[in-house]
Homo-oligomer: A and B are copies of this chain.
Amino acid sequence: MTSKGALRLGVAGLGTVGAGVATLLRANADLIAARAGRPIEIVAVAARSRGRDRGVDLSGVRWVDDARALAADPDVDVVVELIGAAEGVARDLVKAALEAGKPVVTANKALVAVHGADLARLSERAGVPLMFEAAVAGGIPVIKAVREGLAGDRLDWIGGILNGTCNYIMTTMRESGRDFADVLSEAQALGYAEADPSTDVDGIDAAHKLAILAALAFGRPVDFGSVVVEGIRGIGALDLQFAARLGYRLKLLGVARRHADGIETRVSPCLVPEGSQLASVEGVFNAVLVEGAFVGRLMLEGRGAGAGPTASAVVADLVDVARGTAVPVWGASDTALSASRSLPRESFVGAYYLRLLVRDQPGVIAEIAAILRDEVVSVRSLLQHGRAAGTGQEAAVPLVIVTHETREAAILAARTRISALDVVLEEPTMLRIEAG
């Protein structure tokens, strides 16, 4: 191997991840240089508060006021974008860097999910890699596994537990019997959830990651806009109890599935059987499950967030850039990508769990059963659970309906009609049942 000079990085953003990357590059400098075939060094950084102590020595590193300037900086070989958000400085910087012929490594799932199709074309046109291993499932090298390690197989299913915050909340709800709001507050106090938790608990973060995984698995440009997204705000302690009674665990899953006529992509709270692979993934852990025609089922599990795991993924991308081994963004050249369309929600098929709070009076079940029959939803089981605790309505009881396989259009129509009944006292909770 010919001796090369250092690979010089311009790092934009020095939050938890940025500081982690700087720490890792220092701590493992020798090992990284051996693997990359050359040293990897931060030469310039752009970050808001220059004076803040980040626990890492950045002496000798040049500070840049406007991150966008890194794209044109002649001393920067690679731009490392760790600012975040789909728009604004992050997007401007990544675009400008690719246009200037500089490789980009980013941990920005929102940017890649929303603008990844365009950015991939820019990357290909410029002949420089756009890498984002850290954008999905933190330290788990799932992007590499899917795009390269499974490059020979035709994948049929990819998904899993993609948001550690939601998984932590639901694990804690199950173990403690406490309610969503209560556990969310605790997660915020512990730093597992943001002050504004909506990106996590409304499923947006998981949907960004799922859109990226689906693009890689099915070899098509990323299509975030078509992901059907439901979060976990509607989940009550009662749902965890029912799930356990029915032999399931509750997980926020991202699921992308190949159908003859297109790709199903969605994020939603799901029931998975106790004892299944995904059921055992608890707390802040992430897991990605893949099914291929030849490879069969494969699961990757690990820490989906945090400075260490995320920095590990960013630096692995940098080693690839240094080695010159990067591959096309979606695994194939733009012209060779598949045109598989995303399917609308109404065409999905599955089994569902519907939890209602109904007035405890004669005829309620008959009324609901009639709607389900009209909408051609076949009922597998129907459970009642005594009086609801703490609702303040003496005559309210929870009622759970588990369906056989049915079209999602049918269950959605039934839910709308059931929800409108006078005897139904709150918005029904609907969960999908998955094999896990």
Contacts and interface: CB of A to CB of B under 8 A. Distances in A.
Interface of A: 1, 20, 24, 27-28, 31-37, 124, 133, 139-141, 144-145, 148-154, 219, 277, 280, 292-303, 306, 308-309, 311-316, 318-320, 323, 325-328, 331-333, 336-337
A153 B28 contact: yes
Contacts of A152: 24, 28, 32, 311-316, 318-319
A34 B336 contact: yes
A28 B336 CA distance: 14
Contacts of A333: 1, 34, 37
Contacts of A295: 139, 302-303, 308-309, 312
A34 B150 contact: no
Nearest to A302: B298
Q: Which among A32, A293, A303, A336 has the highest number of chain B CB atoms within 10 Å?
A: A336
Nearest to A325: B325
Nearest to A20: B294
Nearest to A300: B300
Given A148-B319, A149-B145, A320-B148, A35 B331 contact: yes
Contacts of A337: 34
B308 A294 contact: yes
A183 B63 CA distance: 66
A316 B149 contact: yes
Q: Which among A20, A300, A314, A325 has the highest number of chain B CB atoms within 10 Å?
A: A300
B293 A302 contact: no
A99 to B, nearest CB: 19
Contact of A299 (B150, B300, B316, B323): B300
A153 B34 contact: no
A52 to B, nearest CB: 22
A336 to B, nearest CB: 4
Nearest to A319: B151
Contacts of A34: 219, 332-333, 336-337
Contacts of A219: 31, 34-35
A393 B23 CA distance: 64
Nearest to A332: B34
A152 B319 CA distance: 7
Contacts of A332: 34-35, 37
Contacts of A277: 280, 301
A306 B309 CA distance: 32
B35 A316 contact: no
A421 to B, nearest CB: 43
B298 A140 contact: yes
Nearest to A322: B151
B32 A312 contact: no
Contact of A312 (B35, B292, B315): B292
A20 B308 CA distance: 39
Q: Which among A37, A331, A332 has the highest number of chain B CB atoms within 10 Å?
A: A332
Given A20-B294, A148-B320, 13 more contacts: A1-B333, A139-B295, A144-B148, A144-B149, A145-B149, A148-B148, A151-B315, A152-B319, A153-B316, A295-B303, A295-B309, A297-B302, A300-B300
A325 B148 contact: yes
Contacts of A314: 152
26 contacts: A1-B124, A1-B333, A24-B153, A27-B294, A34-B337, A35-B151, A35-B332, A139-B150, A139-B292, A140-B298, A141-B144, A141-B150, A144-B144, A148-B148, A152-B313, A153-B315, A280-B280, A294-B309, A296-B306, A297-B303, A298-B300, A299-B299, A299-B300, A299-B301, A300-B301, A325-B327
